[in-house]
Amino acid sequence: MAEFRKILIANRGEIAIRVMRAANELGKRTVAVFAEEDKLSLHRFKADEAYRIGEGLGPVAAYLSIDEIIRVAKLSGADAIHPGYGLLSENPDFVDACVANGITLIGPKAETMRALGDKASARRVAMEAGVPVIPATDVLGEDMDKIRAEAAEVGYPLMLKASWGGGGRGMRPVYSEKELAEKVMEGRARRKPHSAMARAIWRR
């Protein structure tokens, strides 16, 4: 694989500036992207080149637009993209788009993201690799009686955890069986419509 020369940073603010600093130390040229609301942001001026993205989109949607990031990468001649963290950094579809357009994504492969993005799948990967894991169920179904049986097998107290998502927002402690149904329904009611917030039970 040929060594890349120009890196587009698909992020903003301090995150983008840190990546640019590292790229400069390696002798690489850098490309910044910025939403209209970030037109005076410092990361725009720290890069060798900067391009506006997301016309007609909100500030977050602009940085989440795979089509826009790929468009600027091709327009600027960037042969690599660094996603920073957050935004598109854990999106396997973004990796696929980079590969399809002959652009190197500085980060994990799409299949790695897909395997580890779902916590239930990540747990299976760990087990197959011989990594010790705590007692847990697989992704929960809809049968409440079965969920109660699985919870009893794990043992109380336990933690109800979203298989997708992060930041601890999907975690709910359950101290006894009488709380279980309410916690499961509460967790499912608060899930984002576009995400598969199936739940798994973990021993605390």
Residue bearing the bigger pLDDT, 50 or 166: 50
CATH number at residue 198: 3.30.1490.20
Same domain, 196 and 97: no
State the pLDDT at residue 170.
66
Structural domain that includes position 58: 6-114
Is the dihedral angle over the CA atoms 112, 6, 98, 18 positive or is it negative? positive
* Inside any domain, residue 98: yes
Same domain, 15 and 104: yes
Per the structure, the count of domains in the chain is 2
| Residue carrying structure tokens 């603010």 | 13
- Assign 172 a pLDDT band (cuts: 50, 70, 90): confident
| Same-domain check for residues 18 and 109 | yes
- Answer yes or no: do 171 and 79 share one domain: no
pLDDT digits (tens, 9 = 90+) for 14-66: 999 999 999 999 999 999 999 999 999 999 999 999 999 999 999 999 999 99
158 and 100 within one domain: no
Task: Say whether 126 sits in a helix, a strand or coil.
Answer: helix
- How far is it, in rounded angstroms, from Cα 98 to Cα 195? 23
Q: Model's pTM, two decimal places?
A: 0.73
Q: What is the pLDDT, as a whole number, of residue 44?
A: 97
User: For the ranges 21-30, 71-80, 106-115, 152-161, which has the lowest average pLDDT?
Assistant: 152-161
Last residue of a domain, one of 79, 114, 149: 114
User: Is the pLDDT confidence value at 201 over 80?
Assistant: no
Residue 121, domain member (yes or no): no
Residue 108 and residue 139 share a domain: no
Domain contains 125: no
Task: Encode pLDDT of 101-150 as tens digits.
Answer: 999 999 999 999 988 877 778 888 899 999 998 888 888 888 999 999 99
**What pLDDT does residue 51 have?**
98
Q: Is 197 buried (19+), middle (13-18) or exposed (0-12) by CB count in 10 A?
A: middle
163, exposed or middle or buried, with CB in 10 Å at 0-12, 13-18, 19+? buried
Give domain status of residue 12, yes or no. yes
Q: What is the CATH number of the domain that holds 73?
A: 3.40.50.20
Residue-level pLDDT at 196: 35
Q: Given 114, 140, 156, which residue is the final one in a domain? A: 114
Answer whether residue 84 is part of any domain.
yes
pLDDT, average across residues 183-203: 57
Contact, 87 vs 118, CB < 8 A?
Answer: no
Most confident of 69-83, 120-134, 147-161: 69-83
